[in-house]
Structure 1
Amino acid sequence: MVRESFEASIQSLKEDVVEMMERVEDLLVKSVDSLLNKDINLARQVIELDDSIDEMQNDIEEKTIELIALQQPMAKDLRIIFSIAKIITDIERAGDFCVNIAKETIKIGNEAHIKPLVDIPKMREIILDMLRNSKISFINENSKLAYRVGREDELIDNLYKDIYTEILMMIHSDSKNINQGTKLLFVGRYLERMADHITNICERIIYIVDGDNVEIN
């Protein structure tokens, strides 16, 4: 009976983690949409919505502490609990980067974009795919899928390099591009960092399933 209660608590924790991931997916969509459409109200909404992700992180942390204090977790149970505590930190940081994108959007305001925003939406779609598949690998304890998702970080790194090179050339050719160009570089960097945190999540999933500490990239 005690074991059944413990397993139910673990399952509840996992469901909370999945919900956090889904909230970050929503923030990512909205934050990049706000930039593409110069939608300042949507950008402000992203900043407000992030508070709920922070609250979820605090709630999950409290639950993990209670589980360790009140139950007697076995080896794999401890792996899951400690990994969840690390996973939610990475999810929360990913949410923070969405907020940072929204803040850059607000700074750019209604200015005409200095270039067509092509690579940033591409980065978003890959990261959304990474988020969704890392969620599936977490739910199904699929370490092979987690490893494959983590490897997609290289696609994001390459796209960020393209953005970096293109915008630096634009800034070099016309100093009027410095202000917005710098902000777009920040956006690209925030997306690149999001992918890094998802890769961290994938590494924690592999640890939960296989007990192996791996560095995917």
Structure 2
Amino acid sequence: MSIRASFDNELKGLKSDLMEMVLLSQTAIENAIQALIDQDEQKAKEIIASDIKINEYDEKINHTIIQLIAQQQPVASDLRKIIAALKISSDVERIGDLAVNIAKSILHIGNGPLIKPIVEIPKMATISLGMLTDVIEAYNKEDVNLAKETALKDDEVDQLFGKLMKELLELMTSNPASLGQITQLAFICRNIERLGDHTTNIAEHIIFMVKGKKFDLNA
């Protein structure tokens, strides 16, 4: 096998590991939102325990990247792909952490009566998860336009976040006895909002990978 063919195979393996990592993180967020709706403490504990798999993929990807750079001495375009994979894996690992944070808040809330129905939070999560699905498609297709379009949806997430935080702050004033639960719901909202931010970061990494220049999608 030629050096180029060997390098291409290793790049494919790197991408495959990254896709598995994305799937695990995406599933963790989905499970966390469902656990919140169901007030399922057992599922929350399982989400926390399963984060080790995501971290293992992150370590494996980092190791592969170090080996590729050291052994293959990639040219500029290949190096951008490697660096983008490294940055994306970091954001995906953080997304897994967000699921863990949500799960921990669920455990703090417990299974007592809720201060308000869990309706808006899943809506915000659905938009954020849709962004993640689209941005990974953009990564696979190296589609800069799709990456930019996906990042624009973060405004909708931010608007919902602002609306929810205002409502929760009002509930804190009118229901001081439920302050602990309301605070945990606010933490959950913040973690979902951060999912949109990490997705936007991934979109920026894709543009760097394809175009070779940094692009601030939050500007």
Superposition TM-score, scaled by structure 2 size = 0.97
1:68 maps onto 2:65 in alignment: no
Q: CA RMSD in A?
A: 0.8
Distance in 1, Cα, partners of 2:209 & 2:51: 27
* Identical-residue share of aligned pairs (%): 38
Match of 2:192 in 1: 191
Partner amino acid, structure 2, of 1:147: K
SS at structure 1 position matched to 2:117: coil
| Structure 1 residue 86, shift from structure 2 partner | 1.0
Distance in 2, Cα, partners of 1:51 & 1:155: 31
Partner amino acid, structure 2, of 1:185: A
| Structure 1 residue 124, shift from structure 2 partner | 1.1
Match of 1:51 in 2: 52
Match of 2:15 in 1: 14
1:180 maps onto 2:184 in alignment: no
| Structure 1 residue 111, shift from structure 2 partner | 1.3
Give 5+ residue unaligned stretches, structure 1.
Answer: none
Partner amino acid, structure 1, of 2:190: R
Match of 1:148 in 2: 149
Give 5+ residue unaligned stretches, structure 2.
Answer: none
SS at structure 1 position matched to 2:116: coil
Distance in 1, Cα, partners of 2:9 & 2:206: 19
Distance in 2, Cα, partners of 1:212 & 1:151: 19
Superposition TM-score, scaled by structure 1 size = 0.98
1:169 maps onto 2:170 in alignment: yes
Further displaced range: 54-63 or 5-14: 5-14
1:201 maps onto 2:217 in alignment: no
Alignment of 1:85-164 (within 5 A): 85-164=86-165
SS at structure 2 position matched to 1:205: helix
Further displaced range: 137-146 or 58-67: 137-146
**Over 3 Å off, 4+ runs:** none
| Structure 1 residue 72, shift from structure 2 partner | 2.0
Matched pairs, number:
217
The Cα offsets for residues 72-114 of structure 1, whole Å up to 9 and x where unpaired, read as: 2000111111111111111001110100000000111111110
| Structure 1 residue 129, shift from structure 2 partner | 0.5
Partner amino acid, structure 2, of 1:48: A
1:38 maps onto 2:63 in alignment: no
Distance in 2, Cα, partners of 1:212 & 1:149: 19
